Amino acid sequence: MPTAIPAEVARRVKLVILDVDGVLTDGAIYLGRSPSGEGVELKRFDITDGLGIKMLEWSGIHVAIVSGRESGATTLRARELGIEDCYQDASAHKLPLVTMLMERRGASWSEVAYLADDLADLPVLRRVGLPVAVANAVPEVRARATWTTTQPGGQGAVREFAETLLRARGEWERLVQEYCDARDH
């Protein structure tokens, strides 16, 4: 288990924003064609990240996606997880999207955690209260992060972050118990 996130920082977080390619996925994009010739794009998402996202939401933390690439696979995964705020900008200008999202959700910079892996994330990482790098992030992102996962993107990094944040807030054990109780019938 990596070092803990300071409790005072964890308790301040109201909004967690996730990058997609390289954070929720391993960064690979599978392109092909259907039998009818239609273009098909596939991405691999780690299932444990999904439960981590749900647990963040059950604790009252809002989770959003901000991606620098437009993708139907991302839209589909966000919809499957019930993530209302899923913003994709092919030009990778994430800062205006994050600013708009913060205004919409009533969060200040110090109340935002942002999980990142690449250079397009740096303008946001420089401002948020909890900048997080996944283990396979580029050196510039790791240098800016105040906390780094041990797991690479697409391989449980989001789940690791969620558990660590919720433990720092003192909520993890309760949420696990509630999850198990709801399935113990």
Q: What sign results for the dihedral spanned by CA atoms 52, 12, 23, 81?
A: positive
**R_g of the chain computed on alpha carbons:** 16
Mean pLDDT for all residues in the chain: 95
How far apart CA 144 and CA 23 sit, in angstroms, is 16
**Type of residue numbered 159:** R
How far apart CA 75 and CA 37 sit, in angstroms, is 22
How far apart CA 25 and CA 158 sit, in angstroms, is 10
Q: Indicate the pLDDT class of residue 92, thresholds 50, 70 and 90.
A: confident
Residue 47 is inside which H or E element, if any?
helix 47-58
Q: Could you tell me the maximum CA-CA distance found in the chain, to the nearest angstrom?
A: 54
- Both tokens of residue 26? 């391993």
Q: So what's the pLDDT on residue 185? A: 74
Tens digits of per-residue pLDDT, 3-39? 789 999 999 999 999 999 999 999 999 999 999 999 9
Question: How many angstroms separate the first and last alpha carbons of the chain?
Answer: 32
Domains located in the chain, CATH noted: 7-182 (3.40.50.1000)
How far apart CA 40 and CA 133 sit, in angstroms, is 30
Q: So what's the pLDDT on residue 1? A: 44
Q: So what's the pLDDT on residue 2? A: 54
Tens digits of per-residue pLDDT, 103-151? 999 999 999 999 999 999 999 999 999 999 999 999 999 999 999 999 9
Tens digits of per-residue pLDDT, 45-90? 999 999 999 999 999 999 999 999 999 999 999 999 999 999 999 8
